[in-house]
Amino acid sequence: MSFYGIIGASILGLLASFIRYFEMPVLQRIAGMYIELSRNTPLLIQLFFIYYAFPEIGIKLSAQTSGIIGLIFLGGSYMAAAFTGGLNGVDKIQVESGKAIGLTNWQLARYVVLPQGLSLSVPAIAANVIFLIKETSIFTVIAIPELTNTALDQIGMYYHTDESLLLLVIGYAIILIPLSILLTWLERRARYGAFGN
């Protein structure tokens, strides 16, 4: 589920950051409202709303689908901030030069802004990936079987609190430490690519 949530959040975040970067007036306002709403409400409340309120208006979602949508909604706003930071790091003279030779916004994005902006965004994106994986522990409130939910089930059935929590910590460490090492390696590669070192 984390995989789908992170991919969806990245797509939504990139879209929102492009809307804000290229200053599309009406869409920019909508993107800004989405980012503020998403970042200023807890994921727990967002999950409850998606899982329990949507059926009231006729939209019935499974717990897993609700979890993925919640992760995309929350993660998209954080990814938008990461991408926006990278896009804003692109030298404005290059953007103005592209406009001067007649490049459209799409061409500017594809050939000038996106390649440089993405490499500048990698450290923030990496931090967001780790953050979003850790946020999946909240999914236990809507009964999604993930690491935390499994540990709590073991505690409830066998009363092995210490062992279950230790295994939970080890489980997250097994997932997150190698991922963190991989993302740090990607950050270094992106940094060298972005700055030509």
How large is the angle between the packed helices 2-21 and 63-88, nearest 10 degrees? 40
Burial class for 179, CB neighbours closer than 10 Å (0-12, 13-18, 19+)? middle
| Residues with Cβ within 8 Å of residue 15, at least 6 apart in sequence | none
Give the angle subtended at the CA of 131 by the CAs of 77 and 14, to the nearest 5°.
30
> Residue 37 is part of which domain span?
2-195
Find out whether 82 and 124 touch, Cβ atoms under 8 Å.
yes
Closest CA to 79 of 41, 3, 27, 132: 132
- pLDDT tens, position by position, for the chain (197 residues)? 899 999 999 999 999 999 998 888 999 999 999 999 999 999 999 999 999 999 999 999 999 999 999 999 999 999 999 999 999 999 999 999 999 999 998 899 899 999 899 989 999 999 999 999 999 989 888 878 888 888 988 899 998 899 999 999 999 999 999 999 999 998 888 877 654 44
82-93 b/e (C-beta count within 10 Å ≥ 16 → b): bbbbbbeebeee
What is the reported pTM? 0.85
Domain with residue 82: its CATH number is 1.10.3720.10
Task: Please give the C-alpha separations between residue 52 and each of 38, 94, 129, 142, in angstroms, as whole numbers.
Answer: 18, 48, 26, 9
- Which residue stretches of 109-160 are H helix? 114-135, 147-158
Domain count, the chain: 1
